[in-house]
Structure 1
Amino acid sequence: MADAGVHTATANDVPEIIRIHRETWRLAYAQLLPEEVLSTLDTDEAWSLAVHSGAVLVATEGEWTVGFVVASKAPDEEVANADGSLPEDAATTALISVLTEPRWGRRGHGTRLVAQACRELVNAGATRGIAWVPEADKASRNFYERLGWTGDGMVRTLDAGGRPLREVRMSGPLAVRLDA
């Protein structure tokens, strides 16, 4: 494998982040999401704001950008219990979303991204992570399980262009081993 690395995203990374997001979701979620949803996934402005906030890391292999992770404090509505109450650790729970382009999969990029994000989150005071994953996305659920995360029983159904999309919440420690 060529040199692999992880760095904080810059404005120069935004076009590749958008490309990876759109192409990977079109491939992975074509059966779950209608085309009109897939075609409006994100905008330059939304990604530019996320990158500017420092919440995005990108993975590279050689000269190629191969994936990214978005990680920051979880909003209360993302971490709330089914009854709307907040768990005791709500203020120190982080929301993490990782995506590696499939052709670069199984090379450790996703784990490296999450491990670096977790180190930064712990340094900022976070104690636990959560991620929302489509219930039908077994590959993503397996990825988080290999990191020691489990489904915590929370489920939500989103309206994806008139088609329901059921997601499960994965939850786990912010101590990710690079050999996971």
Structure 2
Amino acid sequence: MADVGVRPARRADAAAVADIQVRAWRLGYRDLLPPEVLTRVTGPEALAAWRERWADAAVSPPSPRHRLLVAVANDLVVGFAAHAPAEDADLDPAADAELVALLVDPTHGRAGHGSRLLAASVDLLREDGFRTLTTWAFEDDAVTRGFLGSAGWAPDGTARTLDMGEPVRQIRLHTGIADEL
């Protein structure tokens, strides 16, 4: 049986996190984003920028409530999750958090890593006093919406359209995470 778990990310994990992000986006977003946009955000220059950004997130997050976690299997980073206080104007950053990213390496999918990352994020967010967790998903991303829906997430009625050379619609999903007494 594989030795699996979730832990806080370290600077040394940044390259693996960025590599996972690029591989997951190339596969998962290939039918959701315009090809030139996907190439731009997953190309060599973008990969270098993502590595630097994730290294910063691991060692110097903007606040103690910003976290980057990694899923590991036999000491190999196979996925990651990032969460932070919500920044949307209609949300309360003291009570509402945002799942900024949750991605698993496509070669390690369907092994429970995403569920472990989500559970660990929720545990930490509860400790920090958050009551609601939100995330943005592409409206046509059936995989993400199905995964989160199976964990109790639902659209909250908020949507936005990103200009990526053509309009790409996202919806905001949410779930309650407050401990019930």
Q: What does the per-residue CA deviation read over 1:67-126, in whole Å, with 9 as the maximum and x for residues that have no partner?
A: 10001111133xx2xxxxx4xx55310000211122212211111101111111111111
- 2:98 pairs, out of 92, 95, 99, with 95
- 1:168 pairs, out of 171, 177, 180, with 171
Q: Hey, what's the Cα distance between the residues in 2 that align with 1:32 and 1:163?
A: 11
Partner residue in 1 for 2:159: 155
Q: How does the TM-score come out when normalised to structure 2?
A: 0.84
Q: Hey, what's the Cα distance between the residues in 2 that align with 1:49 and 1:63?
A: 21
Between the aligned residues of both structures, percent identity stands at: 38
Aligned-partner SS, 2:126: helix
Partner residue in 2 for 1:51: 58
Q: Structure 2: which 5+ residue stretches go unaligned?
A: none
Q: Is the Cα contact below 8 Å between 2:154 and 2:173 reproduced in 1?
A: yes
Relative to structure 1, the CA distance from residue 144 to residue 175 in structure 2 (aligned partners, 3 Å threshold; closer, same or farther) is: farther
- 1:135 pairs, out of 121, 125, 139, with 139
Q: Is the Cα contact below 8 Å between 1:95 and 1:130 reproduced in 2?
A: yes
CA RMSD across the alignment: 1.9
Q: Is the Cα contact below 8 Å between 1:100 and 1:110 reproduced in 2?
A: yes
Question: Residue 45 of structure 1: CA displacement?
Answer: 2.6
Question: Residue 18 of structure 1: CA displacement?
Answer: 0.4
Aligned-partner SS, 1:76: coil
Question: Residue 23 of structure 1: CA displacement?
Answer: 1.0
Q: Does 1:64 align with 2:76?
A: yes
Q: Does 1:22 align with 2:15?
A: no
- 1:104 pairs, out of 105, 108, 124, with 108
Task: Give aligned pairs, total.
Answer: 166
Question: Residue 5 of structure 1: CA displacement?
Answer: 0.8
Q: Hey, what's the Cα distance between the residues in 1 that align with 2:36 and 2:9?
A: 28
Q: Hey, what's the Cα distance between the residues in 2 that align with 1:16 and 1:40?
A: 19
Partner residue in 1 for 2:13: 13
